[in-house]
Structure formats: structure tokens, C-alpha cells
Amino acid sequence: MTHLGRLLAIPLIGLAVQFGSVRLGFLDAHTSQSNVFAAALGSLAATLTLPSDAGLFDDLVLKWNGDFSWAPATADSDPVTRFGDEARSVFGPIPDGACAGPQSRPLGLEVDGNSVEVEPNVAKPGSPLEFAHRDARGQLVKWTSVVAKCDKPSLAGGVTFCGLNSRIARVKRDHVEWLFLCRKSSNDLEVHAQPYWTQADPRFSRYSAIGYNDITGEIAFIDGRKDRDVFDWSERFPPPGGKSYQDEMGRREAEELYDKTFEVNCVSCHDNKKPAIIDPHMQQARVGFSGDRHDARTTAFSLGSFLPGRVAKADAPFRVVGSGYAVAHRGAMRNANAFAIKGHPCFACHSLTTLESGRRFAADATGMSPKVRDPTIGQTVAIAQEKAALQMVQDHRTKWASEFGEGGIMPWMLPNHGGRLSEGSRQLSASEWEQLSACAWGSGGDICGFRPLFTSCPIPGESVDTFVPFDFSVAPKPTVNGNEHSAIRLTWRYLNGYGAVPERDNVRFDVAVKLEDIPSSRVSPDLSDYPGLDETKSAIALGPGVIVSRTAGNVLLIRNASFEGHRRWTDAPATRETRRYSIAVPTVCGKRYLFRILPKRFCFENSGVVSGKRDYLAFYDTVCAD
């Protein structure tokens, strides 16, 4: 279905009718063309006189509009709860983390081309737990009491290199998906033949959740608390912020589950324009296997298509949602770039970044070592740290998996063919790697084609967000909710359709209202007569709890108007149709009402709030009966 709000970028213009004693109109701020209406006001219950009734005027505005004018994600100051409210406002409902449910998979362990499980060795007295090695057909190859190395050690750092039986869950609804990782790990970062590492044991040590919208590139991260050593995936993991603003029990439970400090910089690894890391450890079929569709190991050991392939492009949208997370990691995020070297064989399929996809993952994928000519002191230290991390990974990798081993799955990314190792493509040359590594460390110059990794918060009604308000109208209302005072109601329609999330709730409207005497000529107002754009935007600087205020020039500001019926701190019901918005103000005889309506998006990251560049103007003349 086509929505008019997506097609019409300006208020309607060019229509005029005359009925009686009230004139109202709309003026497009960009064309200076007006749309004038008139309607008979009729009998009024009560009207106000300014300035003597100015205080009552503002009180009535707050009373009539306050319940439906509020900033999203301001109900609670707890960092976890606020994160959840922000995430729901962008991604819609957040599912429970269910690592053991039908939408989840275990992550296996491979050693010398065989799968490994911790099982009782019934051939030995007492059936001790040992590592059972089985080939792709499921046939037992051998038992070992120790696994010191594996074919696909983890690149994450700070977790067990050769762990097994962690679980990953993926829940997708339309264009939004959530990934949940229940990761088993040990203090010494080694795997042991103990019950903890069996597939049946629900204990694990690291819990993480990632939300992602595949249209907008919006992504959000939250981890389980870091002072908790053991989680249990047989338990329910409520989403941060609970199911809704009203889910008090879920909100309190989540506050005890998640890390309030956002300690881990998740986006440093989940940086390449998608939620899932591309590396062999995650057992994705596209890397770490031969790439031959007849390969028995791919069928037996990989996750298949459980995690879909996505192509990373340097100009693709990518934005972190979560104000607490963004503040904690603003330095690293501010300096991060995406890059793609034109004509380079690694960039025929994807881009890379100056975070870990370009530094650690690219180095491991190509079997190369980070390198920069004439490095700065800071680069020298950082490269030494990266080399040490990569060496620890290499120390845990089997000879079978190495370049000259029987498996030969290293390097696991080849020029022009990516992860299709069966193609037998050449490896990256030294000069090609020097180019790539220099760019990854921010030293490659113009050849890198650097651009900011994180795209800006979309301005309502501009560029990638094509949804705009429309169908503006003003009409007299004899009463509001049975109140004795008459009112004027400004209405419009709008669908917050960016990203195709039916419950998206991160756009509000600020309305500036200016009252003047009606000129004797009844001429339509000039642009300069309306409340100024800066005056309207000044509402953004006020605290989130301020709904009605006055500027120094006595312009009335009504902040954070949401759609009709959307009461304070309630979740937006799902819809793909436009919603109706309205603002009511008291009637004052003999006054011209000048409205400026400005949409704004709550970004929930370092940029705070962004206002639309196209605002909307309306005027209304009222001459009250004697």
C-alpha cells in the first residue's frame, strides 16, 4: 500500500474557500505559497483574553496535550532499562533470549578435520569424561584427554580459544533480527574434559545480545553483567527494559541481568556493516571449509545458512543505537572509518574497517601480519598488541589447519574467491597486503577511500528517510474532553515508517505557537511573521520533562507531541498506516495563530536529537462573535 505521507514532502497548497468568520491557512516555508481556508466558529462556551489569562492559557495547553507529549525512553534512569526502551523505540519488541530454543544452534569444535565432543569414555574404568573425535560420517576416530589446539580458534580475545557447545540463537521478524550468544568460556581460556563443556550442561559464562535492522543498518549491543560467572540457558532471559514500559517485573529482572556499564566495545569486532562476525570459529559454511558444495565436512559441521551472508559496502548505512553504549565508546566510534581500495582483490566482494575487521580478522584471514610503514608511536604499540593477540590464536591452531597442513584451510580468505578454498586461488601478495594493512591502521592515504564507518542519524523526511507529515488541518473545537473552554485543534498525519518497523517510536514533533492581532487587511502572513526556526529548535535544549514553555519572545512551545492516544510511557501499537497527530490550544478572540511544526528524531546515540530541515507552517484567524 502506498502512503501519502511518503509521497508528499510539503503541505498542500493553492486551495481557498470562504465560509464565515474564521480564517486558517498553511504556508510552505520553501515556496511562500499559501493554502487558505475559512470556517464559521459558531457558539463558544468560553474564550480567553490575553495577556491577563496567559497563565491559564499555558495551563490548559499542558492539561490538554501533556498526556500525549513526551520523549521516548525517559521513563527510567537505570542504564539497562533506558537502553531497552531506546531499543524498542527503534527495533520494536525485543524477544526473550532463548539460546536453547528451536531458533538456536550449538557451536561445535573441530580438531584435525574431525568434530569433538566431551563424552564418557565407556572403554575406560569409571567412564571418565574425555574428548571424542568423530569424522564427518560420525565415526569415532579417537579419544583424547586434552585438546590444546583446534582448527578454528576464536579471534575474539578474552574467551576460550577452542571452546565448544556455546549456543547462538537468531530471531527474525521482517527486517529486524536479534542474535543471542550464550558463550562457554573458562578462566584459563582453555577447554577441559569436564561436565561444563558437554552439550547437555546449560551453564555458560558470557551472555550477549545484538539487534539489527537490515534496511537501516541500525545495530544495538548489550552484554550480561560482568560480575556474574555463570548463566543458565534453561532460564528465561528477559529483554532489557522488559517487554514494555508497563512490564515492571521484567524491567527489574533485566536490570539484574545486564551490564550497566557497557564495558565491552562489541562494535570493534561486529564492525563490518552486519551483526555476525565472518570467521571460521562461528562455523559459517562460507569460511573455514573448502567451499565445495559436495564437501562432507561443510554438511556435517557447519551452521549452513543459519547466519545469512551479507555483503559489506563502505557506503552502506550503519549506526549504533543505545545512548549509554555510545557514550562509553564514543572515542573509538568517532575515529572509525570504512574503506575499500579500488582494484584491490580483497574489495571485489566487501569493504573493511579501521577496527578489528581490517586489523585482526583480515590479518588472520590472509595469514599475514599487521604492518605499517613509518608507524607512529601509538601505531607501534597498538600493532604490537595486535600481533600478540594473533600469535595466541596461532598458538592454538592445529598444524592440520595451517597452510601446509593436510586440511590447508589457512588462509581462510583468498583473493577474488573469498572463502571458496577449493578454487585454489593465489594468496594475497606482499604489496597487496601492505596496502590493505596500511589502510586498516589509518595510514593508507587517498587510495583507501576512507569514509566514516558510522552513518549519521537520519533527519526526518530527508535522504534515506522519505516519510513526511501531511494532511495538515486546523479546526475550532467547542470543548476538549468536556472542558468549558473552547479550543483550536491543529491536526496532521504521519507514519514513522523508516526501516519498516511497525512499532517504531523515535520521532516526535515540536510545535511553536505565536499569537498576534489579526491585521485589518487580513493579508496572509509572511514567513517572518511565524515563530522562528531557532525558537522552535530551542525546545530541544530543555529537559525531557518540559512539555510547555515560553521563549524570550513569548512564543509558546509544545514539545514532543506524539500521535493521538499514545499516552506517556506506553509502547506504540503496531501499524503500517499513517497515524493522526493533534495539538489543542485555547481560543482567544481576535487573534491570529501562527504555527510552526517541526519533526525530530531521537537518535539514542552521540548526536542526541536531529530536527527535520523541512518544517511546516500553519496560520489561523479567529474573530469571535459578540
Predicted confidence (pLDDT) per residue in 580-592, tens digit: 999 999 999 899 9
The residue range of the domain holding 412 is: 337-452
Asked if residue 329 has pLDDT above 50, the reply is yes
One-letter amino acid at 529 equals: D
Residue 477 amino acid letter: K
Query: Do 418 and 530 reside in the same domain of the chain?
Result: no
Average pLDDT over residues 238-256: 98
- Same domain for 116 and 51: no
Contact 280, 286 (CB under 8 A): no
Quick one: pLDDT at residue 286? Answer: 78
Is residue 263 included in any domain, yes or no? no
Whether 228 and 300 map to the same domain: the answer is yes
533 or 511: which carries more pLDDT confidence? 511
Which residues fall within 8 angstroms of residue 521, CB to CB, at 6 or more apart? none
Question: What span, in angstroms and rounded, lies between the C-alpha atoms of 365 and 360?
Answer: 9
Which of 452, 478, 511 is the C-terminal boundary of a domain?
A: 452
Q: Give percent helix, percent strand, percent coil of the chain, each to the nearest 5.
A: 20, 25, 55
- Mean pLDDT across the stretch 261-272? 95
- Is residue 322 domain-resident? no
Q: How far is CA 3 from CA 7, 219, 496, 572, 598, in A?
A: 7, 27, 11, 19, 20
- Give domain status of residue 242, yes or no: no
Of 429, 452, 475, at which residue does a domain stop?
Answer: 452
Residue 414 shares a structural domain with residue 375: yes
Measured CA to CA, the distance from residue 345 to residue 341 in angstroms comes to 9
Verify that 284 and 163 share a domain, yes or no.
yes
Flag whether 247 is in a domain: no
- The answer as to whether 370 is a domain residue is yes
Q: What is the pLDDT of residue 479?
A: 62
Instruction: Based on the fold, state whether residues 101 and 66 are members of the same structural domain.
Output: no
Would residue 15 count as lying in a domain? yes
What average pLDDT does range 213-222 have in this prediction?
97
pLDDT at 585: 96
Residue where a domain terminates, one of 452, 475, 501? 452
Does residue 448 form part of some domain? yes
pLDDT at 37: 36
72 near 87, Cβ under 8 Å? Answer: no
CB count in 10 Å sphere of residue 456? 14
Task: Kindly state whether residues 400 and 486 are assigned to the same domain.
Answer: no
Angstrom CA distances, 424 to 279, 402, 415, stand at 19, 15, 10
* Gap between the Cα atoms of 593 and 578, Å rounded: 26
Highest mean pLDDT among 8-12, 55-59, 369-373, 539-543: 369-373
- Domain count within the chain: 3
626 pLDDT tier (thresholds 50, 70, 90): low
More reliable by pLDDT, 152 or 626: 152
Cβ atoms 504, 578 nearer than 8 A = no
Which cell is 459 given?
A: 533527519
Which residues are paired to 224 by β-bridges? 258
- Collapsed DSSP state (helix, strand, coil) of residue 280: helix
Q: For residues 179-201, give the mean pLDDT.
A: 98
Number of DSSP helices (H) and strands (E) in the chain, helices first:
12, 26
pLDDT tens-digit map of 517-543: 999 999 999 999 999 888 777 766 676
Same structural domain for residues 107 and 230? yes
Q: So what's the pLDDT on residue 285?
A: 80
Whether residue 267 is contained in a domain is answered as: no
- Cα separation, 340 vs 312, in Å, equals 10
Who has greater pLDDT, 247 or 422?
Answer: 247
- 0.85 surpassed by pTM: yes
Dihedral angle sign, alpha carbons of residues 510, 516, 522, 527: negative
pLDDT tier at 76, thresholds 50, 70, 90? very high
pLDDT band at 425 (very low <50, low <70, confident <90, very high): low
What pLDDT, in 10s, does the model give residues 80-102? Answer: 999 999 999 999 999 999 999 89
As a whole number, mean pLDDT of residues 554-559 equals 94
> 285 and 168, same structural domain?
yes
Which whole number is the average pLDDT over 172-187? 97
Integer Cα distance of 579 and 570 in angstroms: 16
198 by Cβ neighbours in 10 Å (0-12 / 13-18 / 19+) ranks as middle
Contacts of 581 (CB under 8 A, 6+ apart): 469, 491, 492, 493, 494, 509, 561, 562, 563, 564
Copy the grid coordinates of residue 331. Answer: 572515542
Same domain, 104 and 224: yes
Average pLDDT in the 423-444 region? 90
Kindly indicate the confidence band of residue 483, based on its pLDDT and cuts at 50, 70 and 90: low
Note the pLDDT of residue 31: 34
Report how far residue 241's alpha carbon sits from residue 78's, in angstroms, rounded to the nearest whole number. 9
Count the neighbouring beta carbons within 10 Å of the beta carbon of residue 107: 20
Say whether 285 sits in a helix, a strand or coil: coil
Give me the amino acid identity at 126: G
Residue 429 sits in the same domain as residue 547:
no
Rounded CA gap, 291 and 286, in Å?
Answer: 7
Whole-number average pLDDT of the chain: 88
* Pairwise CA distance, residues 115 & 300, whole Å: 9
| Residue 145: C-alpha distances to residues 178, 188, 196 (Å) | 37, 17, 15
42's CB contacts (< 8 A; 6+ apart) are 476, 478
What is residue 14's predicted lDDT score, i.e. its pLDDT? Answer: 26
* Phi, psi of 385, deg, nearest 5: -65, -40
In sequence order, what are the residues at sequence separation of 6 or more whose Cβ sits closer than 8 angstroms to the Cβ of residue 429? Answer: none
What was the pLDDT predicted at 290? 75
Residue 162: all three cell numbers together? 577452542
Specify whether 493 is located in the same domain as 593. yes
